[in-house]
Amino acid sequence: MKTLLHKLGSPWRKALGQGGVLAFRASSEGFSWVELAPGKTWPREVLSVGELARGDEDTPQWLHKLGSLGLSGGQVIALLELDDYAVYKLPAPNVPPDELKAAARWQLKELVEGKLEQLTIDVLQAGDDSRSQKEMLVFAARNAAIERVCQAGTASAKETRVVDVWETAQRNLQTAQAAMDGLADKATAALMLLPGQCLLTICAGEELYYTRRLDADDRLFERATSTAKEAVREEVPLGFEYMPGDELSFGSMESEESSLIIELQRSIDVWERSWPGRPLSRLYVLSADHAEAVARLLQKELGLRTLALLPQQLFTGDALAQGQVLPAACLPLLGAALRDESARP
């Protein structure tokens, strides 16, 4: 089946050839990238990572600077910024597969502002086929944003063949770690900590079932990092269950409830009601720093086994050597670079 979204991480795959992979982001503030060596053995080898601030250069100067980076990935994958697209979870209409995108576009008429002609639309089935009422994730990306990243990709390397989204990039990281942990067929959740917001995904069997963007809770993160040393020595109990109305103990936070923990628990509750046969076996925390401290705190408050997903567990190379700090902008790019066009039909 043909799909517009060999650009947006669709499950319907198109072969892109062999060789290494270059995954990049291009925004008005700058350019960041990850290069992976050819091959599919674990851990995957990272050839280079980096970021470049744009500064005051005009477009021709900026594109020339990108060309001077010397990037040459065999497959070139652009990752849109979160603000460049929206995700909608909608009932999947009972139409032939080749009419699904058109049906999704029709449903979006009442949900999006502006002209649909200015958006690239594609769909991803949410979950598996085990339920009679199927759902789909509809991605609506601004055409101008796709043109911007493709222009940057052509300037820095060569023609951009794939434009991906964060939800599928995070799925790739999450399911790779779950497989390494012996949980390939189990349901797991992943939470990426970002400035001002967090991205939650729930996956099973390499498929994305659920995604949600949550507001960040800076006070929670401050508590996690300030008490990291004590948390290392503390035996974190499992089995804590949050109930509506309970007060969560936050020490210096004066026992205020954490909005992030409350919303995480609500999402977990929705998942358990929607997919009772797939209990969550683990929550992974992804962050450029302090992931382990936040994971310990979330495990204590949610009662769900929670671990930090560290890049060194899945990748190798000088860019990830001990003592090297991975630029925060490059973390989601590791997942985009894991995109496997041959994994599914």
Per-residue three-class SS string for the chain = CCCHHHCCCCCCCCCCCCCCEEEEEECCCEEEEEEECCCCCCCEEEEEEEEEECCCCCHHHHHHHHHCCCCCCCEEEEECCHHHEEEEEEECCCCCHHHHHHHHHHHHCCCCCCCHHHEEEEEEEECCCCCCCCEEEEEEEEHHHHHHHHHHHHHHCCCCCEEECHHHHHHHHHHHHHHHCCCCCCEEEEEEEECCEEEEEEEECCEEEEEEEEECCHHHHHHHHHCHHHHHHCCCCCCCCCCCCCCCCCHHHCCCCCHHHHHHHHHHHHHHHHCCCCCEEEEEEECCCCHHHHHHHHHHHHCCCEEECCHHHCEECHHHCCCCCCCHHHHHHHHHHCCCCCCCC
Residue 256 pLDDT grade (very low, low, confident, very high; cuts 50, 70, 90): low
Instruction: Please state whether beta strands 207-215 and 306-308 pair in parallel, antiparallel, or not at all (unpaired).
Output: unpaired
Report the C-alpha gap between 170 and 292 in whole angstroms: 18
Residue 345 pLDDT grade (very low, low, confident, very high; cuts 50, 70, 90): very low
Please state, rounded to an integer, the average pLDDT across all residues of the chain. Answer: 85
267-284, pLDDT tens digit by residue? 999 999 999 999 999 999
Residue 158 has pLDDT above 60, yes or no: yes
272-325, pLDDT tens digit by residue? 999 999 999 999 999 988 999 999 999 999 999 999 999 999 999 987 876 677
C-alpha torsion angle, residues 175, 180, 183, 189 (rounded to 10):
-40
Structural domains of the chain, with CATH: 4-164+330-337 (3.30.420.380), 181-309 (3.30.420.40)
Higher pLDDT, 232 or 7: 232
- 149: which 2 tokens? 């990243």
29-63, pLDDT tens digit by residue? 999 999 999 998 999 999 999 999 999 999 999 99
For residue 223, the model assigns a pLDDT of 87
Residue with tokens 């291009």: 26
Closest residue by Cα to residue 210 from 144, 299, 142, 270: 270
Report the C-alpha gap between 344 and 281 in whole angstroms: 24
Mean pLDDT along residues 127-156 = 90
161-213, pLDDT tens digit by residue? 899 999 999 999 999 999 999 999 999 999 999 999 999 999 999 999 999 99
For residue 303, the model assigns a pLDDT of 96
For residue 305, the model assigns a pLDDT of 98
Closest residue by Cα to residue 191 from 265, 241, 85, 272: 265
Report the C-alpha gap between 163 and 176 in whole angstroms: 21
For residue 246, the model assigns a pLDDT of 44
66-85, pLDDT tens digit by residue? 999 988 768 999 999 999 99
CA distances to 80, 89, 114, 118, 128 from 144, rounded to whole Å, are 11, 23, 13, 8, 32
Query: What is the pTM assigned to this prediction?
Result: 0.86
- 98: which 2 tokens? 């080749």
- 239: which 2 tokens? 């089995």
For residue 132, the model assigns a pLDDT of 65
For residue 227, the model assigns a pLDDT of 66
